[in-house]
Structure 1
Amino acid sequence: MILGADLLRIEDLSISFAMVGGQVDAVKKASLRVLPGKVTALVGESGSGKSVISQSVMRILPRIATASGRILFNDPLTGKQTDILQLSQDGPDIRSIRGRRIGKIFQEPMTSLSPLHTIGDQVSEVLTIHEHMTKDERYERTIEMLRMAGFSKPERAFKMYPFELSGGMRQRAMIALALICRPALLIADEPTTALDVTIQAQILRLLKDLQQEFNMAMLLITHDLGVVANVADEVVVIFHGEVMEAGPVEAIFRRPAHPYLKGLMAAVPHFDMKPGERLKALREVPVNASHLLDAAGTRKTTGSEILLSVRHVSKSFQIRKGGFFRPSEEAAVRAVDGVSFDIRRGECLGLVGESGCGKTTVSKMLMRAVTPDSGSITFNDHSGPVDVLEAQGGDLQKLRAKIQMVFQDPVSSLSPRMTVQNILAEPLEIHDRGTPKSRQEMVGALMEVIGLNRRYLNRYPHSFSGGQRQRIGIARALALGPELLICDEPVSALDVSVQAQILNLLKDLQKDLGLTYLFISHNLAVVDYMADRIAVMCAGRIVELAPRETLMRAPVHPYTKSLLAAVPFPDLDRPLDFSALKAASASDMRNWSVQFQRDSAGDGLATVDLGDGHLVLARRNADVRELRP
């Protein structure tokens, strides 16, 4: 191999951190390359050393880190080869490379962008540092870059602050900032992890287009094998700081050799899974729910009657607009608009949609954390129906014990000042369940259920991994023996291998304890694995509801079709059709066929029954035969 053929070449890179408890080796003699104009994907779980490698390339490692080896950057502009590790971390040589010849997109754009400066100021600041340009030239270049990054009105975006943009738009601003100097290499650190599937597809398409436009190379850091299959030319698989396997994307996906890579692929949920087929987690979590049955007295329930019935629920929020020199005025934003659905006892109902569609607001209304403007919610207890919105005092206390929630972020949902013992015992104390001794037995049983050792009870949440923290959150939700568990994006922040653990755990608990789930997610492959029926939500309304097999195989509504078309498969034979992915939002009704749009009077949409439990939101006078696939 000719050394000059590689744009970036990392040789025997080792990175260690000096910690109080001793030295931590984050990367161990890792070697990889990035070819000019190509995409190299660096794949692995959290903690495997991916982001630390990217920091070493940008020379922004923390002071406590020590790095050895070589990072050779062959700049095509100057024809000069530079060993980045030999440069001073704040010297002029690395500053001429960092941000100018090597750009970086960070994982979380909200924390990477300054909240005090406009998007335009932050993007043009890079030009101020690296280029000799007048103010007007910087403005013109910034406007051009924002337009290329997908802003339809770049002049308006120039004056906006990061908090005024959606997650996808913030990521576009981050891309504009990284590419404003036309770098030879772009490092993209998990650029789509926190985004919806449709926004993720748009960002991937944008990155591919800009890569070709600028003839730029990319080091893509991700744990999503679907993204890798659609974007990468070469793949490097890393585990605990060591490179396990590397090669062209064709060889990696069609002939994986290392057991770790095979394990990662088996842990990804996909649409071709057979009924009853389980995800193969890299590290299985032993589940023993018999202790919980004995301690909580939870009975397995059978039957297909309705456990929870939601009818015509709506919720609006008042948004105050104003400024220093004009009076404030309030505008109503309809977050949930006439939502109706049933959850049958013992089933898992999936609720999917993009961020902002109203999924979490619905879950909060079911928990009585938010009061709807109109509609009804009925919980069918064994003793009879309970009006959720009218329950007060002791009735509300009993109701909340029967409906529990697993939150999206296990870090912020667990108190950092409480031990696991206190976290799991707190619900029992609040609801005055049992004696101190029986509570202790219950807490131990909950630890057995989630596959954690009882000796961890005196630890604090920060000493656990993300997957372990989520398991603790699940155990806390199970403490009171609930009948309905609302899971709000419970695996969106987790790696695929840990995600497989949590999903299998939830399935086992549903089977052993007779639980009923409302499973909220924007990951359609996850919902396909978990749910019996799926409701698709868009702009506050449920646009389609059907059994899982029907919705995944024969969707009717154009929004559902857009969601499914945007899912990246970890399969080279099923690539994303980037040419068919429209830059406009999937929720934009103007892209839908006439049957699914409101008429000229602004109304006319109703739920149409297509048979076999398949419901779709369409015009009242739509022909059912035309709607059927």
Structure 2
Amino acid sequence: MVSGTDLLRIENLGISFAMLGGRMNVVKGVNLRVLPGKVTALVGESGSGKSVISQSVMGILPNTASVTGKILFTDPLNGRASDILQMRPDGAELRDLRGKRMAKIFQEPMTSLSPLHTVGNQISEVLQIHTQATKEERRAQTEEMLGLVGFHNPARTYDMYPFELSGGMRQRAMIAMALICRPALLIADEPTTALDVTIQAQILELLKDLQQKLNMAMLLITHDLGVVANMADEVVVIYHGEIMEAGPVDAIFRNPQHPYLKGLMAAVPHFDMKPGERLKALREVPVNSDTLWAKKPKPENTPEILLSVKNLTKTYAIRKSGMFGKQDKTRIKAVNDVSFDIRRGECLGLVGESGCGKTTLSKILMRAITPDSGSVTFNEGKGEVDVLAAQGEALMELRTHIQMVFQDPVSSLSPRMTVQNILSEPLEIHGRGDRAYRMEKVRALIQAIGLDQRFLNRYPHSFSGGQRQRIGIARSLALGPQLLICDEPVSALDVSVQAQILNLLKDLQKKLGLTYLFISHNLAVVDYMADRIAVMCAGRIVELAPSAIILRNPIHPYTRSLLAAVPFPDLDRPLDFKTLKASGASDKRAWGPQFFDETDSNDLAQADLGGGHLVLARRNVDARELRA
């Protein structure tokens, strides 16, 4: 029976795919509902069937899929209930619903947007298909929506191509495309996974406001329990295609019943964790680093500072127009007078929004980018090495000491190489041992990250995201490095897999004496991993302090804004959307005169507040005034 209050009702949904040797059942007897004007969150790990369910609602499943059950959509405009599974996927009836009355925000904006069409052209196309608006009206409505989702210059954005936007900006464009026809049901498939906490908070506030104004219902697909706690009215927990637990958000968070849901909640890092407390991963990864190399003893007179960065600056020129247009005189400092030290054996966290210069800085340290000025000095105990000037054999030797774990485990592993080839490649490049030695070392590496040796002849595509990231970590350990630069190593992973990787990195650091530069926009993750934290904004380090100080007593307004935007998986600590600035945390005009140099005359310097706590402020401001 269809309830008169249900906008979307899924009854006994089963989905299977044709595979070699039979069919694979990926969704088994799922029942859920979405009420008008309410948010139902569908929570689960990658591979649990969340996205497949959303595809079935939109009628965009591949031809190899077989679907049973009912998907009933009741259009508020006419009150008529329709079974989507009875409609032809390419028929006029479903096409009229899709995009107009039901819309979807896809998880990966780069592959969902056409690279050949401008952002405005793609968004206005939805209006062209579903409305009678003129070309001028479509442009005006599109620019209005681009403004609503946070673009400062909608008219300019309208004529830009997707590759000209950052990941967060592309996701905003996807949200604008989904909302342009004011749908009754919005399916949001991981809409904020790739976004910074401040932009995520803005998007969540935007979705909440539009949902209330338009009485829009939402099926929110996510693995972020903090987002669920702040957005959802009802929660459905799915595991391997089956519903484990469902109910109102209050009951789910305050009194979880199923062990799987309890496990998910225990895997989430949070700011209230005690020193030394360990994340509880759903499936622990056994770490066996004994066969790699012993923890390197610290010789006497070894300097405390492993890597010293002084006054790094990198400037980029902005093109005036077009790919081959003349360069404008406008220049942007991606990295602006950055200085910090990384101590031997510690983890230094580097946090900030997209575009603040984190990855540019990491590429400079890896010698992938040449800075305009500044110095980087590495000292493992055999004398100082100028990283930026190293050439030939000195550079090859340096690369064995500094390695990188990349953000995307898919694109950073060659699809044409087996795991054995991937792990042995660094050893071959640097001439380490003979074939037998390299094979022995590869087996030790795969064992150290908790994978079976029988996986060595498999290719990256046959592994999950977490397993691929572990392979990336193993590759970075092949040469026995002193320093690992981890660039957003867990941002694309589920909370349960994220807990595995973070625990693995901690175990390896303890057993092998590694030093980390850990780059992330997830402050809870950085708090779990880092001993000290550097906060970066617009190319500059605005605050640097031990993690216990900076996350509990932040001084700089930017750091405070970042912390205020973190969604907690706790119903008693909701996001305060009213205090979050619509202009974003990086709006320097809102910082106050102590922290903002309006004339840009370089009148800012690091103020020492004691205990290793440094804050970027005006030179003439007293430290006591900053604390106040």
What range is the shorter-chain TM-score in?
over 0.9
Q: Which residue of 2 aligns with 1:27?
A: 27
How far did 1:161 drift? 2.9
- Quote the offset at 1:146 in angstroms: 3.2
2:520 alignment partner in structure 1: 521
Q: Give 1:333 deviation, angstroms.
A: 2.4
**In structure 2, distance between residues paired with 1:372 and 1:246:** 53
Q: Aligned to 1:413, what secondary structure does the other structure show? A: coil
Conserved 8 A contact 1:406-1:487: yes
Q: What's the counterpart of residue 479 of structure 2? A: 480
Give the equivalent residue in structure 2 for 1:410.
Answer: 409
1:401-480 counterparts in 2 under 5 A? 401-480=400-479
* Structure 2 contact 319–326 (Cα < 8 Å) conserved: no
- Counterpart in 2 of 1:120? 120
The aligned residue for residue 148 of structure 2 is 148
Correspondence for 2:618: 619
Tell me by how many angstroms 1:599 deviates.
4.8
Residue of structure 2 equivalent to 1:76: 76
1:354 aligns with 2:353: yes
Residues 295-350 of structure 1 deviation map (CA, whole Å, 9 limit, x = unaligned):
xx652438771111111111122343345997554643211111111111110000
Asked if structure 1 preserves the Cα contact closer than 8 Å seen for 2:357 and 2:538, the reply is: yes
Aligned length: 626
Give the partner amino acid of 1:224: D
Q: Distance in 2 between matches of 1:549 and 1:607?
A: 19
Q: Which residue of 1 aligns with 2:216?
A: 216
Give me the whole-angstrom Cα distance separating, in 2, the residues matched to 1:494 and 1:323: 36
3-state SS in 2 of match to 1:5 = coil
Residues 52-67 of structure 1 mapped to structure 2, 5 A cutoff: 52-67=52-67
1:586 corresponds in structure 2 to 585
Displacement of 1:181 in angstroms is 1.9
- Quickly say closer, same or farther: Cα 1:588–1:21, change in 2 above 3 A: farther
Q: 1:562 to 1:30 in 2, by over 3 A?
A: same
Per mean C-alpha deviation after superposition, the further-off stretch among 130-139 and 411-420 is 130-139
CA distances 1:573-595 after superposition (whole Å, capped 9, x unpaired): 10000111111021121111110
Contact 2:295–2:511 (8 Å) recurs in 1: no
**TM-score with structure 1 setting the length:** 0.96
Judged with a 3 Å threshold, the aligned counterparts in structure 2 of structure 1 residues 402 and 146 are, in CA distance, closer, same or farther, namely closer
Q: In structure 2, what residue type is equivalent to 1:507? A: K
* Cα distance per residue 1:232-282 (max 9 Å; x no partner): 000000011111100000000000000000000000000000000000000
Q: Which residue identity is paired with 1:538?
A: C
Whether 1:563 aligns to 2:562 is yes
Question: Can you list the C-alpha shifts for 1:548-589, whole angstroms capped at 9, x where unaligned?
Answer: 100010000011011101000000010000111111021121
Give the AA of the match of 2:523. L
Deviations 1:586-618 (A, max 9, x none): 112111111001154632100110000000100
Residues 1:194 and 2:194 are matched in the alignment? yes
Equivalent in the alignment of 1:279:
279
8 Å contact from structure 2 (residues 307, 376) kept in 1: yes
Tell me if the contact between 2:17 and 2:26 (Cα under 8 Å) persists in the aligned partners: yes
Any conservation in 2 of the 1:189–1:222 contact (CA below 8 Å)?
A: yes
Deviation at 1:214, TM superposition (A): 0.3
AA of the residue aligned to 1:405: M
> What is aligned with 2:341?
342
Asked if the contact 1:467–1:499 (Cα under 8 Å) also holds between the matched residues in 2, the reply is yes
Q: Secondary structure at the match of 2:312?
A: strand
1:574 and 1:325 mapped to 2: Cα distance?
A: 50
Determine the C-alpha separation between the residues in 1 that align with 2:118 and 2:373. Answer: 39
TM-aligned CA deviation for residue 134 of structure 1: 3.5
Bigger drift between 355-364 and 329-338 goes to: 329-338
Distance 2:47 2:5 in 1: 31
Which residue of 2 is the match for residue 378 of structure 1?
Answer: 377
Q: Which moved more, 1:370-379 or 1:161-170?
A: 161-170
- Residues 298 and 481 of structure 1 are in contact (CA less than 8 Å); yes or no, is this contact kept in structure 2? no
411-420 or 302-311: which moved more?
302-311
| TM-fit CA distance, 1:82 | 0.4
Q: Secondary structure of 2:348's partner?
A: strand
Q: Per the alignment, do residues 513 and 86 of structure 1 end up closer, same or farther by CA in structure 2, a change over 3 Å counting?
A: same
- Aligned equivalent of 1:246: 246
Tell me which moved more, 277-286 or 298-307: 298-307
Please give the secondary structure, in 1, of the residue aligned with 2:277: coil
CA contact (8 A) 1:300 1:513 kept: no
- Aligned pair in 2 of structure 1 residues 357, 253: CA closer, same or farther (>3 Å)? same
Distance, in Å, in 1 between the alignment partners of 2:517 and 2:585 is 24
Distance 1:12 1:596, change over 3 A: same
Residue aligned with 2:467, SS: helix
Task: Render the CA deviation track for 1:162-213: whole Å, top value 9, x for unaligned.
Answer: 3333333333322222122221111111110011111111100000010011
Identity of aligned residues (%): 74
SS at match of 1:202: helix
Picking from 272, 280, 298, the partner of 1:301 is 298
SS in 2 for 1:417: coil
Q: What's the TM-score once normalised by structure 2's chain length?
A: 0.96
Give the structure 1 partner of residue 203 of structure 2. Answer: 203
Following the alignment from structure 2 to structure 1, what is the Cα–Cα distance between the partners of residues 600 and 54?
54
User: Quick one: structure 1 residues 374 and 140, their matched pair in 2 at CA, closer, same or farther if it must change by over 3 Å?
Assistant: closer
Q: Secondary structure at the match of 2:489?
A: coil
Contact 1:266 1:280 in 2 (8 A): yes
Q: CA deviation at 1:288?
A: 0.9
Native 8 Å contact 1:10 1:31 kept in 2: yes
Contact 2:303–2:379 (CA under 8 A) maintained in structure 1 = no
Amino acid at match of 2:491: S
Whether the aligned pair in 2 keeps the contact of 1:292 and 1:298 (CA below 8 Å) is no
Distance 2:150 2:406 in 1: 32
**d(CA) in 2 for partners of 1:21, 1:375:** 60
Corresponding residue for residue 365 of structure 1: 364
> CA–CA distance in 2 between the matches of 1:108 and 1:263?
27
Alignment partners' CA distance in 2, 1:533 and 1:241 = 41
* Residue pairs, 1:490-529, within 5 angstroms: 490-529=489-528
Residues 1:139 and 1:394: Cα distance change in structure 2 (over 3 Å) = closer
Which piece of structure 1 moves more, 410-419 or 559-568? Answer: 410-419
| Contact 2:306 2:344 (C-alpha < 8 Å) held by counterparts | yes
Q: Which moved more, 1:444-453 or 1:137-146?
A: 137-146
Query: After the TM superposition, which of the residue ranges 73-82 and 20-29 deviates more from structure 2?
Result: 20-29
Structure 1, unaligned stretches of length 5 or more? none
Distance 1:599 1:206, change over 3 A: closer
- Match for residue 553 of structure 2? 554
Q: CA deviation at 1:92?
A: 1.3
Cα 1:472–1:152, aligned 2, differ >3 Å: closer, same or farther? closer
- Note closer, same or farther for the CA distance 1:383–1:161 as it changes in structure 2 (3 Å cut): closer
Distance 1:342 1:318 in 2: 29
Equivalent position SS for 1:429: helix
CA distance in 2, matches of 1:477, 1:143: 45
| Partner Cα distance (1:532, 1:572) in 2 | 29
Kindly indicate whether the alpha-carbon contact (under 8 Å) linking 1:300 and 1:512 is maintained by their aligned counterparts in 2. no
Q: In structure 2, how many angstroms separate the alpha carbons of the residues matched to 1:469 and 1:249?
A: 33
SS in 2 for 1:595: coil
- Unaligned runs of 5+ residues in structure 2 are none
One-letter amino acid of the counterpart of residue 370, structure 1:
I
The offset of 1:474, in angstroms, is 0.7
Comparing 479-488 with 525-534, greater Cα deviation is found at: 479-488
Q: Name the CA shift for 1:136/1:384 in 2 (closer, same or farther; >3 Å).
A: closer
Tell me the residue number matched to 2:236.
Answer: 236
**C-alpha distance after superposition, 1:495-530 (max 9, x if no partner):** 110000000000000010111111111110000000
